[in-house]
Structure 1
Amino acid sequence: MNICILGGGNIGTLLMGELGRKEDISVRLLTSRPDDWSNIIEVCDNDGTFKYSGKVDVISSNPAEVISGADIIISTLPSYMFNRTIQKVKPFLKVGAWIGVMPGNGGSEFYCNELIESGHTLFGFQRVYGIARLKEYGKSVYDLGKKKELFIATIPASNNVEVCKVLEDLLDLKCNPLPNYLHVALTPANPILHTARLYELFHNYTEGTYFDRMINFYTEWTDEASTILIDCDEEVQSLCRKLKTVDLKKVGFVRDYFGAETPQQMTAKVSSIIALKNIQSPMVLIEEGYIPDFKSRYFLEDFPFGLCIIKGFCEIVGVEIPLIDKILMWFEKVTGVEYYVEGKFEGKDIKNLPLPQNFGLNSVEDIIAYYR
């Protein structure tokens, strides 16, 4: 089996190391920096101890060289890079090839409309399959822990069992099929986890304000961030309840996922996750001190390709989400985009986002039919 990975970041590198040690798998990589890559990826424990290595057979920036013979393509790219990349690889896709996205939210299903209609299967992971950090770009990666099991949805939904069976063998992890892709698209993961924390950290920030140090994103998590996170989760769950084809237990509540009922319990849980202890907040150091980095992946991905998509679904089904609106309006203010006009979600900068209404979904019935 030939598998091509799109993206050589933390998770992409770990995935190549994992798949590349299997004798019956040929791993390829599409990257803009092929000269920086080794054909052998070393995977290490968090203390740097070598665990295993995997082989990458073909490394190229040319889609024709790595996509043409691939049976499965898995993207670990940021959501804001996905559409541009999928358009580049589209002409070289093998008939019937599967296209996977890890994680699967971010509107990738809309960008793959034409491919799905032509017989390709899209599959998306509810969350990434583990936590990883690069040791040396293109050569080695720290494995900070993998999930015990994965949850995966497909379009068409009828292909979910087959896809899960194949992925289970590839990743040596239990893979649970989800009823439909909405269970991935609406999973309360990074789109509310990251945005809740970013809003808590920086909503009082004004130009000319400086922080005297870098703030740890998770270890210094606060009860205020937990309260925002739990309340945003409840707004997402209100949307899921309105879409009766969505199984709330399979989408998952944030409190259930972290095993925390109160903001204080949530803070204790999030701040104590060892694998996340060294992750810093998106900040940059200038002469006067630290300021928020509004051009970081946190901002470029989780607001426009996370909260905006949730808001898009809510607009269609008629669910009010005042807290998410407040957070998006703050993001709009600090980044200069236009999402709202006189309080209505109809600004010029939502037109090019992968929102359901931008792809012809205008009713609950449309949504149910699309994800069937």
Structure 2
Amino acid sequence: MKVAIAGGGNIGTQFAVHFAEKGHNVYIHTSKPEKFSSMLSIVDHNNNVIHQASIKKATSSDKEAFQGADLIFVTVPSFAMKSAARQIIPYLKKGAMIGIIPGNGGGELAFKEAIDKGAIIFGLQRVPSVARIVEYGKKVCATGYRQKLYVAALPQEATNKVNKLISTNFDMACGTLPDYLNLTLTPSNPILHTTRLYTLFKDYVPGKTYKKVPLFYQEWDNETTKLLFKCDEEVQKLCKALKDYNLSDVKSLKIHYENNTIEGFTHKIQNIEGFQGLLTPTVKLDNEFIPDLKSRYFTADFNYGLNIFMQIARMYGVDMPNCQKIISWYNSIRDINFNEFSFDDYGIKTKKAFNRFYKM
């Protein structure tokens, strides 16, 4: 197949290696093609090469990357999905498959027109592993590969086809999700990151600085876990209110991280191998710090994460006070230069319109 990867970052590089390794012609669409080697590697935390393959080309040309592609993976951040869709859709061939990785963040609606043109849209509930660039355009470190991936597609009847594609090319078990909303409402980063940022910076106002900021995961605290549990319960409450959908695979974070006590959950987050050493998104001013409001932890996980949950909650009349407290705090400090997701932009203003799209 011709496989195009939109985005040459952590996930894009990892996916490029896996699919090139299986013999596909892989094109990476990036603004920095000159930085890419034709041979890309995935290494473990000891820098041992675990996967390696040669891609066909890295290019900044929309036409060269996407025209005639059988499979396109979109790995750009959620706020760039609309822009990516504008670049990809003019070159789509009928029957092309477009994978949004990961599948939350509203990307499915950015590609609504692609479905009308006969494309299949799909997403993974979570990425195959934690991946971090070691050397841009050459090497990525991947740790903690999952036992199993989960996929959903629009139209829904294409899910089994996509399942086979993913399991074959990653050599991993892959399960099918009953409704695409299992991806949209997956509470990973939209709850995990937003609760942590709130407890770290809830007293932040412009002009305030911090002498020291804890590591994001490694110094996770019980205060964050308590708030996360409350928000996690509100997401489960929202899922129960969407009675037209089977959302049994929107698992509580307590189940996902296999801990239902505050102390146990905190300890688990602090000790996950792939999370070690990750910094809190900040900007350094002299010798002090302020939150980096341009970081994806803010611009993606609030604007295109928690914000989507809250819009669906309002549509269905579900009260989510803790999530609302966090989104209200964020809106008081957010960088207004970054757009946020809105169902209204896609003509979805009622439950009927919502169901028409997600039940196709």
Q: Report the TM-score when normalising by structure 2.
A: 0.95
Alignment-mate amino acid for residue 164 of structure 2:
K
Confirm whether residue 262 of structure 1 aligns to residue 249 of structure 2.
no
Quick check: 2:134–2:140 contact (8 Å CA) kept in 1? yes
Amino acid at match of 2:20: G
Q: CA deviation at 1:205?
A: 2.1
Q: Is the 8 A contact 2:27 2:57 kept in 1?
A: yes
* Distance (Å, rounded) in 1 between the aligned partners of 2:246 and 2:45: 36
Q: How far off is 1:288 after superposition?
A: 3.9
1:304: how far off? Answer: 0.7
Report the residue type matching 2:18 in the other structure: E
d(CA) in 2 for partners of 1:92, 1:337: 32
Q: How does 1:341-356 map to 2 (within 5 A)?
A: 353-356=340-343
Matching residue of 1:202: 201
Distance across 2 between alignment mates of 1:51 and 1:233: 35
Task: Check conservation: 1:237, 1:248, Cα contact below 8 A.
Answer: no
Match of 1:154 in 2: 153
Task: Name the structure 2 match of 1:102.
Answer: 101
Distance 1:232 1:193 in 2: 9
Counterpart secondary structure, 1:146: coil
Which stretches in structure 1 are left out of the alignment for 5+ residues? 339-348
Which deviates more, 361-370 or 312-321?
A: 361-370
C-alpha distance in structure 2 between counterparts of 1:113 and 1:243, whole Å: 21
- Cα RMSD, aligned residues only: 1.7
Offset, 1:357: 3.9
> Paired residue for 2:141?
142
Percentage of matched positions with identical amino acids: 35
Runs of 4+ residues deviating >4 angstroms: none
Determine the C-alpha separation between the residues in 2 that align with 1:337 and 1:322.
24
Q: Quote the residue 2:7 is aligned against.
A: 7
Is the CA contact 1:312–1:357 (under 8 Å) kept in the aligned structure 2?
no
Q: Deviation digits for residues 167-194 of structure 1, max 9, x if unmatched?
A: 1111111111111211110111111111
Structure-2 separation of matches of 1:262 and 1:35: 49
Task: Note the alpha carbon deviations across 1:193-239, whole angstroms, 9 max, x for none.
Answer: 11010001111123343333342110100111111111111111111
Q: Distance between the aligned counterparts of 2:159 and 2:60, measured in 1?
A: 31
Q: 1:245 is matched with which residue? A: 244
Shift of 1:59: 1.2
Whole-angstrom distance in 1 between the partners of 2:346 and 2:142: 38
Deviations 1:103-144 (A, max 9, x none): 111111111111111211100111111111111000111121
Q: Superposed, which structure 2 residues align to 1:305-324 within 5 Å?
A: 305-324=304-323
| Aligned equivalents of 1:105, 1:355: Cα separation in 2 | 14
3-state SS of paired residue (2:105): coil
The equivalent residue for 1:190 is: 189
Instruction: Provide structure 2 residue ranges, at least 5 long, that are not aligned to the other structure.
Output: none
CA–CA distance in structure 2, aligned partners of residues 127 and 245 of structure 1: 23
Residue type of the alignment partner of 2:64: E
The Cα of 1:157 is off from its aligned counterpart by: 0.8
CA distance in 2, matches of 1:63, 1:354: 24
**Bigger shift: residues 207-216 or 274-283:** 207-216
Find the aligned partners of 1:124 and 1:98 in 2 and give their Cα distance: 10
Q: 2 CA distance for matches of 1:79 and 1:229?
A: 22
The total of aligned residue pairs comes to 359
Change (3 A) 1:71 1:203: same
